[in-house]
Amino acid sequence: MTVPDPRPAMRVDVVSIFPDYLSPLDLSLIGKARADGLLDVRVHDLRDFTHDRHRTVDDTPYGGGAGMVMKPQPWSEALDHVVAQGHSGAKPRLIVPGPGGQRFTQTLARELAREPWLAFACGRYEGIDERVYDHAREDLGLEVSVVSLGDYVLNGGEVAVLAMVEAVGRLVPGVIGNAESLVEESHEDGLLEYPIYTKPASWNGREVPPVLLSGNHGAIAAWRHEQRRARTAARRPDLLHASHGVDGTDVEITAATPADVPELALLMRACWVQEAVANDTLDIPALHESLDDVRESLETTQTWVARSGGRLVGAVRTVRTEPDGDDWFIGRLCVAPDLQGRGLGRRLLEHAESTAPDGIRTFTLNTGARSADNLRMYKKAGYRLVDVPAPIPGAVTLVKRRRG
Ligand SMILES: C[S@@+](CC[C@H](N)C(=O)[O-])C[C@H]1O[C@@H](n2cnc3c(N)ncnc32)[C@H](O)[C@@H]1O
């Protein structure tokens, strides 16, 4: 019998002087997730931590200037209160919305969705006294992130928190019934979503693109991919560039040579330590490859390396699974940890597929069963999990049929 886990998947605390502003979190899918016990959202009124008759939370800025600044005392007491509610030393990651923070993106939403506990501090007026950030970091030991919704100024952090809790909450396992729908969305791999249609096929003289009615899944996937590229180029060319380059610098993919081996071994070690942590095992062959192993692999496989501005930032290996077989094995796909989530893995994957010789009908690869980001990327690229045991414990096998 499976015993249900009584803990919610994520706890969220929000401190604000307008707690009612957060009431939309009772509605729709986030409200349902709260009712189902997947999200434990608690909203706190900052004014409950004041001690004067007027429940004052702001004062004039030192050094002069317009506007008011939020006082440190109510904030420190509010944060102390939130942190004191954690069991056995657990602490939230503190998110302070602010136009001067790092941009909120789908990548950050995914990162935050992996946190068990988030606390949000909603500023108002000109913002919060800087010493509150120091208190949170140094006295409470919290990781503090200032996060901006975009390059514009709101009156307060509440709207930003509503947006962030919705974007993060829907990535928490179980919140969206059909997890596949999360894979198929804008920003998941650096491109925008393709145009979508529903019944009727003909409406007011406007027709659904015929390919969508063809039943030809390969043609539909190709059409959608092309639409995503065209739409991204038209509306967000900055994203298209990011999905093909790294920080604006073009990436060049070339066949690996023995001169690449030291950097390649280092990159692989960095990438597979990450996999070892995600999958809770050191029993991953890639993690144990010595310099000599990597050098020898250049003889037995075709290895490709990606370089950006001279730096080795990614790699992939390919080999025919059986000498005369029709399957192309794609392995050791890795991207430097600081550059992941920008489409480079997808580009290496497409390169590996494009180098398959005639006669290859399927592509096969393995990844850790718990490597969520890899699985998402492979599925988006058309790979499907198959019931074939992977040669590595705790790994799964994915296969894709070659088009055309
Ligand atoms: C009027 S703004 C303060 C702006 C601040 N004086 C500055 O120039 O950076 C008041 C509050 O609104 C929130 N806020 C404003 N713009 C935001 C944005 N783009 N993203 C997230 N929060 C924002 C923050 O909580 C901020 O403390």
Instruction: Kindly report, residue by residue over 352-398, the tens digit of the pLDDT.
Output: 999 999 899 999 999 999 999 899 999 999 999 999 888 888 899 99
- Which pLDDT score is estimated for 89? 87
Of residues 187 and 328, the one with the higher pLDDT is: 328
- Using the 3D structure, point to which of 141, 169, 197 is the last residue of a domain: 169
Q: What percent of the chain has pLDDT over 90?
A: 68
Average pLDDT of the chain to the nearest whole number = 90
Assess whether pLDDT exceeds 90 at residue 268.
Answer: yes
Assess whether pLDDT exceeds 70 at residue 169.
Answer: yes
Which CATH number characterizes residue 117's domain? 3.40.1280.10
Which CATH number characterizes residue 219's domain? 1.10.1270.20
Residues 292 and 348 in one domain: yes
Q: Is residue 375 part of a domain?
A: yes
State mean pLDDT over 135-158. 96
- Which pLDDT score is estimated for 179? 67
State mean pLDDT over 130-137. 97
Nearest CA to ligand 1 atom 15: 154
CA of 127 to the centre of ligand 1 (A): 7
Assess whether pLDDT exceeds 60 at residue 249.
Answer: no
Q: Is residue 174 part of a domain?
A: no
- Which pLDDT score is estimated for 12? 98
- Which pLDDT score is estimated for 341? 83
% helix, strand, coil for the chain, step of 5: 40, 25, 35
- Using the 3D structure, point to which of 169, 200, 227 is the last residue of a domain: 169
- Which pLDDT score is estimated for 9? 84
pLDDT band at 26 (very low <50, low <70, confident <90, very high): very high
Residues 219 and 334 in one domain: no
State mean pLDDT over 136-154. 96
pLDDT band at 248 (very low <50, low <70, confident <90, very high): very low
**Could you identify the atom of ligand 1 that is nearest to the CA of residue 151?**
19
Lowest mean pLDDT among 73-82, 181-190, 262-271, 367-376: 181-190
14 forms beta bridges with 43, 120
Ligand 1 in reach of 152 Cβ (< 6 A): yes
pLDDT band at 183 (very low <50, low <70, confident <90, very high): low
CA of 308 to the centre of ligand 1 (A): 35
pLDDT in tens, 184-202: 677 766 678 899 999 999 9
CA of 22 to the centre of ligand 1 (A): 17
SS3 81: helix
Assess whether pLDDT exceeds 80 at residue 51.
Answer: yes
Ligand 1 in reach of 154 Cβ (< 6 A): yes
State mean pLDDT over 193-218. 94
Assess whether pLDDT exceeds 90 at residue 317.
Answer: yes
Q: Is residue 180 part of a domain?
A: no
- Which pLDDT score is estimated for 7? 57
pLDDT band at 6 (very low <50, low <70, confident <90, very high): low
Assess whether pLDDT exceeds 60 at residue 226.
Answer: yes
Lowest mean pLDDT among 85-94, 134-143, 156-165, 278-287: 278-287
Residues 68 and 148 in one domain: yes
- Using the 3D structure, point to which of 201, 235, 269 is the last residue of a domain: 235
Residues 312 and 227 in one domain: no
SS3 164: helix
Of residues 283 and 401, the one with the higher pLDDT is: 401
CA of 349 to the centre of ligand 1 (A): 40
Question: CB count, 10 Å around CB of 140?
Answer: 17
Question: Hey, what's the torsion of the CAs at 107, 108, 113, 114, to 10 degrees?
Answer: 90
Residues 292 and 329 in one domain: yes
> What is the Cβ-side half-sphere exposure of residue 314, based on CA atoms within 13 angstroms?
29
Transcribe 312-336 into DSSP letters: EEEEEEEEESSTT-SEEEEEEEEE-
Residue 247 in tokens: 């920080």
**Where are the alpha helices (H) located in 208-320, listed in sequence order?**
217-235, 237-244, 261-279, 291-300
- Which pLDDT score is estimated for 241? 53
Residues 155 and 110 in one domain: yes
Q: Is residue 3 part of a domain?
A: no
Ligand 1 in reach of 127 Cβ (< 6 A): yes
Residues 367 and 274 in one domain: yes
Residues 152 and 211 in one domain: no
Residues 348 and 391 in one domain: yes
Residues 205 and 339 in one domain: no
Residues 133 and 39 in one domain: yes
Lowest mean pLDDT among 151-160, 199-208, 238-247, 286-295: 238-247
State mean pLDDT over 68-80. 98
Q: Is residue 135 part of a domain?
A: yes
**Could you identify the atom of ligand 1 that is nearest to the CA of residue 96?**
25
CA of 248 to the centre of ligand 1 (A): 28
Q: Is residue 181 part of a domain?
A: no
Residue 364 in tokens: 């096969």
Q: Is residue 98 part of a domain?
A: yes
CA of 124 to the centre of ligand 1 (A): 7
Q: Is residue 162 part of a domain?
A: yes
pLDDT band at 267 (very low <50, low <70, confident <90, very high): very high
Give the chain's domain count. Answer: 3
Distance CA 400, CA 381 (A): 9
- Which pLDDT score is estimated for 184? 67
pLDDT band at 236 (very low <50, low <70, confident <90, very high): confident
pLDDT band at 309 (very low <50, low <70, confident <90, very high): low
Q: For residues 220 and 214, is the Cβ–Cβ distance under 8 A?
A: yes
Residues 82 and 46 in one domain: yes
Write out the residue range of the structural domain in which residue 225 sits.
189-235
Distance CA 367, CA 316 (A): 13
Lowest mean pLDDT among 113-127, 179-193, 299-313: 179-193
